[in-house]
Amino acid sequence: MYVQELEPVAGSLGLSALVAALPLVIVLILLGGVRMKAHLAGLTGLLAAVLVAWLAYGMPLGQTVSGAAQGAAFGLFPILWIVVNALWVYRMTVRTRHFDILRRSFGRLSDDPRIQALVVAFCFGALLEALAGFGAPVAICSVMLVALGFEPVRAAVVALVANTAPVAFGAMGTPVVTLAQVTGLPLEDVASVVGRQTPLLALVVPLVLVGLVDGRRGLRETWVPAMACGVAFAVAQFAASNYVSAQLADIGAALAGAAALVAVPQARRPAAEPVRASVLTGTRSEELDEDDPRAEVVRAYAPYALIVAVFSIAQIPAVKDWLAQATQMYDWPFLNVVNADGEAVGGNVFSWPIVSTGGTLVLIAGVFTAAVIGVHARVAVKEWAATVHELRFAILTVTSVLALAYVMNLSGQAATIGHFVAAAGAGLAFLSPVLGWFGVAVSGSDTSANALFGALQVTAARESGLSPELLAAANSSGGVLGKMISPQNLTIACAAVGLAGREGDLLRKVLPWSLGLLLVMCLIVVGQSSPVLGWMLP
């Protein structure tokens, strides 16, 4: 049996926290300073965490390695199982060109570039974030906006800023699923609180987007459809994350936001020619003028409808109970850890939700998608294998980061840092989103930031008397605002629109929005930690 210690280094909490933070510091320096590849930085950080656990904390090497293996296993299933299957569905729509049909369908909704920015970058970007995440929304939406006639820099900036509100529930809820796992908090509780924070961003971001596209005139002339889109998105994201399913939050929000835009008469009016001339300074793709049969348009929307249908059926109480029965629980081998109070930690047991996990449900929807859009079984399998190959470095990154997180959590490193950080007291509520923001800005992933800092946030919250669910959620909600300034996303945006080497230009344009919205989120969390906004929490 291994008993966690909070002060293993010279009996000092401060020195112990300094040593415990070494793996995180190494990862952040390698990513942000040295610009090392994420998977190599993750593996290096994992090695550092193992050494600290073994040499400084006295955790037996066998148990340390076993803990790392469990973290990697969780990274593969259910986390990457969700991501691979979601991206597989997207790749099949690209192969059959139904994605192009969908893009043209969006282009025909309105010829007003300000409305197009909302439809493509905000609504469709959220749908892509829900299904794929990991940079796909920025790359795809940037290209689509350029095809609509947007100048490349403006297209990239709009896509980056839009990729905020949906990130916490991206890739079928992967960030919040990870957060729940590493913190030991129920997924429903974590998703519920995140769903009472990020929707507030959704109220603001559409207004920011039309302002980015057309300045004060854009706000003055299109604030009504922007607000309608934001309110519909926020309400749907809140409702789905609190009462339906965290995995469906972004899909429902994206569809609701798009429906609200279509329903507002002002959004469908032709844009004034001076507006189009001043905003659309790029070259519009002639491909957008092609006509598509109605049946093919319906098939283009079918994959997303099928995912919603499968997840909705899985939420029916009788079906949900039946799926839950298939969940397997295992005593993880070579692992026997208790905390400083002598209580067994949750990591001793490994849960394997074979059928009920989001990845399996997406896989089922993907099989139906292949049949509906006409993908042969052999081709579908080939695309699935190609998806795994495409994500090979992301797979290595996620598994190494989660292995690192598990080693830090099981050895007691995260608990030590959390007790030390708790000295911030009431100020912790303000700093909590900043920690998540910093983690995503460096790693480029809300999932990774949650894995790295989730347990730390919960420990600090309990020590300072704050709500663990609130600070855990704040880590994810603050993190979404670091996505637009992460080097990975900036590079993806530049590559997508042909601006290689101009990441610095984009950073200067999006950094003020990232910091401004982060301040808003910090104030929201501070309010929710007090009677001022405490009524918002479940």
The string of DSSP codes covering 295-351 is HHHHHHHHHHHHHHHHHHHHTSHHHHHHHHTTEEEEE-TT--EE-TTSPBPGGGEEE
Nearest to 447 by CA among 57, 100, 172, 198: 172
Query: Both tokens of residue 145?
Result: 């906006």
Q: Do residues 307 and 365 make contact, with C-beta atoms less than 8 angstroms apart?
A: yes
**Residue type present at position 55:** L
Residues in the chain: 538
Catalogue the E-assigned strands of 81-227.
Answer: none
Cα end-to-end span (Å), the chain: 37
Is the bond leading into 78 cis (omega within 30 degrees of zero)? yes
Q: Do residues 500 and 461 make contact, with C-beta atoms less than 8 angstroms apart?
A: no
Distance from C-alpha of 348 to C-alpha of 333, rounded to nearest angstrom? 8
**Structure letter (DSSP) for residue 56:** I
Nearest to 102 by CA among 83, 114, 89, 113: 89
Q: Is 319 helix (H, G, I), strand (E, B) or coil?
A: helix
Distance from C-alpha of 506 to C-alpha of 508, rounded to nearest angstrom? 5
Query: Both tokens of residue 456?
Result: 């730390």
Q: According to the 3-state scheme, what is the secondary structure of 393-440?
A: HHHHHHHHHHHHHHHHHHHCHHHHHHHHHHHHHHHHHHHHHHHHHHHH
Radius of gyration (C-alpha) of the chain in whole angstroms: 23
Is the bond leading into 60 cis (omega within 30 degrees of zero)? no
Amino acid 51: pLDDT: 97
Calculate the CA 169 to chain-centre distance.
5
Residuewise pLDDT in 10s, the chain (538 residues): 999 898 999 999 899 989 998 988 888 788 767 878 878 888 999 999 999 999 999 999 999 999 999 989 988 887 778 778 877 988 898 899 988 888 788 777 788 889 999 999 999 899 888 876 667 788 888 888 888 888 899 999 999 999 998 999 988 888 999 999 889 899 999 999 999 999 999 999 999 999 999 999 989 999 999 999 999 999 999 999 999 889 889 999 999 999 999 899 887 777 777 666 677 766 666 676 678 899 999 999 898 888 878 877 887 888 888 887 877 778 899 998 988 778 887 777 887 777 777 788 889 999 999 999 999 999 999 999 998 998 888 788 878 888 988 898 899 888 888 788 777 776 899 999 988 898 888 667 898 889 878 988 998 999 888 999 999 999 999 999 989 988 667 877 887 787 777 778 888 899 899 999 999 999 999 999 999 999 999 8
Angle, helices 170-183 vs 187-194, to 10°: value is: 120
- Dihedral angle at the C-alpha atoms of 23, 26, 29, 30, nearest 10 degrees? -110
